[in-house]
Structure 1
Amino acid sequence: EVYQRPYDPFNPVVCIDETNKQMIKEIRLPCEPSAPSGQKSNSFLGWISAWLRYRPWRASARLRPLPCPAKIPLQAQVRFLTGWSTRRPEKVDSVYIRNGVADVFMISEPLAGRRETIVTESRTALDFAEVLKYTSNVLYQRTEKIILVTDNLNTHSPASLYKAFPPKEARRLAERFEWHDIPKHGSWLDMAEIEIGVMNRQALSKPLPDLESFRQQIRAWTVNRNKEHAKINWQFKTQDARIKLARLYPIIL
């Protein structure tokens, strides 16, 4: 029913959700190739014996760490033989450093084709409270009421405001919102999920090395997306919901 309301700039429908992204810093520093244990014989029978002991078709063998003197974390190392020959096996290294996790809060107003993103280093109740305060005091300070749609997380409640702010300020902010929680296991009903999916495909398809480059990438995507005034054509109506989500609707006898 919330999504079927006509557009009202003084009572906007705003969807909020969050996601995270692993920061990946790639290092192109391959190690020296090394032969599997036992592969020392140049004879055909010796090679077959080493092949059977190595068993490269097993996932545990393919992902077995290789000896390397460099003090760099090696991830997903793969060793494979190049063919029926006695040559030493080749190796493909995917070498990177995990550089922390960045979180993105998506604030989407689907009927207006507007969205805002906030990058943080965590997504606790305090972070969510700060996002709500920014939404109320900066993005929609001239509105009468903000129709807020969030998924069913434990931090997505007015209680987060009382954890972050004094009671008077928390109550003021809580009254600025008309709260609508989507059903449990129904996060796809939050239209902010659609915006997050678009963001992941267009801006986060490649690894980013650090938080600063992540912020720049997200900001550039947000600005370009808002310039396009891209809206969401929501076609899931109440009648469809009563059929697909029949277990959530009471039966009146």
Structure 2
Amino acid sequence: MKPWLKEQWCIAPKANADFVAAMEDVLAVYQRPYDERRPQICLDETSKQLKADTCERLPLKPGESERFDYEYERHGVCNLFLACEPLAGKRMVQVTQRRTKQDWAQFVRDLVDIHYPQAERIVLVMDNLNTHVIGSLYEAFPPAEARRLVERLEIHYTPKYGSWLNMAEIELAVLMHHGISQRLADQEDVRRQVDAWQTRRNQKAIKVDWRFTTADARIKLKHLYPSVEVSLGE
């Protein structure tokens, strides 16, 4: 079963106008053609548990897999912010100790000023986590700076229980399974592996072939749409 179908089971079976409204808004964004002046960026974050070996690993031998002890020491967790531009095959990852409002705000400012300084507006798709709000920019920066950043953003939120609509989740899944699936002891280890992964993936300009459209949603998720009775009058 596809991951987004698994999450779909969490959605209340009754009609949900707020869900379909937010879903169709995001799907409409995904139908827009590529425009370097208004790049479409999907943003999400996840955590990585830090684990250190308790004993030295055995040296590798030809034809054998790496062997290490199952026991490990917990060294806490770190956070990973990931933003991707599916139409351009580009992704940006930042490893942080936490994921507070200030951390999110700093990541957004880096998107605006470092990664997309020439963009008129960044079309930003993300879930409605309580840190993903305009107010976070005002908590992190002076009012004039926060407003400058706000005016460079066009924000679209995925619906509640609809984070599968965020293409950044696809990139995070690839990162977690193919980039940093191994045991890593500290934040610097994670950062080195993340940098290597995103460099390889960006060099190949790997894009996301998103095919789920509003037309599909109105058929496959028909039960979520409210039933509207239209009165034709006399």
Normalising by the smaller structure, the TM-score range is: 0.7 to 0.9
Equivalent AA in structure 1 for residue 133 of structure 2 = S
> What residue is the counterpart of 2:54 in the other structure?
27
**TM-score computed with the length of structure 1 as normaliser:** 0.72
> What residue is the counterpart of 1:108 in the other structure?
84
Tell me which protein shows more helix as a share of its residues. 2
> What residue is the counterpart of 1:240 in the other structure?
216
The 1:201–1:173 alpha-carbon spacing in structure 2 relative to 1, beyond 3 Å, is: same
Matched positions, count: 190
> What residue is the counterpart of 2:61 in the other structure?
none
**Separation in 2, partners of 1:159, 1:244:** 36
The 1:176–1:251 alpha-carbon spacing in structure 2 relative to 1, beyond 3 Å, is: farther
**Separation in 1, partners of 2:193, 2:187:** 10
Higher-RCO chain (CA-CA 8 Å, sequence separation at least 6): 2
Equivalent residue of 1:10, what SS? coil
> What residue is the counterpart of 1:68 in the other structure?
none
Equivalent AA in structure 2 for residue 113 of structure 1 = G
**Separation in 1, partners of 2:92, 2:35:** 18
Equivalent AA in structure 2 for residue 23 of structure 1 = L
Equivalent AA in structure 2 for residue 108 of structure 1 = C
Q: Of the candidates 43, 49, 64, which is equivalent to residue 16 of structure 1?
A: 43
Could you tell me the percent identity over the aligned residues? 49
Alignment pair present for 1:185 and 2:161: yes
Equivalent AA in structure 1 for residue 72 of structure 2 = Y
**Separation in 2, partners of 1:247, 1:124:** 36
Detail structure 1 runs of 4+ shifted over 6 Å in the superposition. none
Task: Map 1:146-157 to 2 at 5 A.
Answer: 146-157=122-133
Equivalent residue of 1:94, what SS? coil
Structure 2 unaligned regions, length at least 5: 1-27, 57-68
Q: Of the candidates 205, 210, 219, which is equivalent to residue 229 of structure 1?
A: 205
Higher Cα Rg: structure 1 or 2? 1
For 1:176-210, what per-residue CA distance to the aligned partner results, in whole angstroms no more than 9, with x for missing partners? 11110011011110000000011111112211111
Equivalent AA in structure 2 for residue 2 of structure 1 = V
RMSD: 1.5
What displacement does 1:150 show? 0.4
Structure 1 unaligned regions, length at least 5: 30-92
> What residue is the counterpart of 2:29 in the other structure?
2
What displacement does 1:94 show? 3.4
**TM-score computed with the length of structure 2 as normaliser:** 0.77
